Structure 1
Amino acid sequence: MANSPQAKKRARQNERRYTINKARRSRIRTYLRKVEEAIASGNQDAAASALRDAQPELMRGVTKGVLHKNTVARKLSRLNARVKALG
């Protein structure tokens, strides 16, 4: 349990950041799921547009510190390869 004022403030900040980051991660996963569903349907146009929508959301996750930049680069690269393979 936090005792000092500094530790109490830190605990409050961590709690606030946790909820914000949780929402961000959830939003990113939703975009990724839409891309996965479009790929599964076999429609390349839908998959490409879903990937275009997901890309800025993933990059925002990097700038906000929710995801590592290499993780996002890897995910985008693999998704892009799968979308191209549909054609």
Structure 2
Amino acid sequence: MANSPQSKKRARQNEARFAVNKARRSRIRTFLRKVEEAIASGDKEAATAALRAAQPELMRGVTKGVYHKNTAARKMSRLTSRVKAVGN
């Protein structure tokens, strides 16, 4: 347990940051799940639209420090290749 005023403040800040990051991560996962569902349904237009919507969300997660940039790049690359393969 935090004892000094500074450590108490840091604990409060960590809780607040954790909540914000959790919400961001959840939002990004929702966008990625929509892409996955569109790919599974075989609808290329829907998958492409969902991917276009997911890309800025994923990159925003990088900017905010939720994901590492290489992680986001890897996810986008794999999703893009899977969307391109839909309907072939």
Q: TM-score, normalised by structure 1?
A: 0.98
> Residue 66 of structure 1 aligns to which amino acid in structure 2?
V
User: What displacement does 1:11 show?
Assistant: 0.1
- Structure 1 residue 86: Cα displacement: 1.2
Q: For 1:82 and 1:76, how far apart are their aligned partners in 2? A: 10
Aligned positions of 1:17-56 closer than 5 A: 17-56=17-56
Residue of structure 1 in register with 2:84 after alignment: 84
Task: Note the C-alpha offset of 1:38.
Answer: 0.2
For residue 71 of structure 1, what is the aligned residue in structure 2? 71
Question: CA offsets per residue over residues 58-82 of structure 1, 9 Å max, x none?
Answer: 0000000000100000000000000
- Aligned partner of 1:59: which letter? M
Superposition RMSD on alpha carbons, in Å? 0.6
TM-score (norm 2): 0.97
Size of the aligned set, in residue pairs, is 87
Provide the rounded CA distance (Å) in 1 between the counterparts of 2:13 and 2:35.
Answer: 33
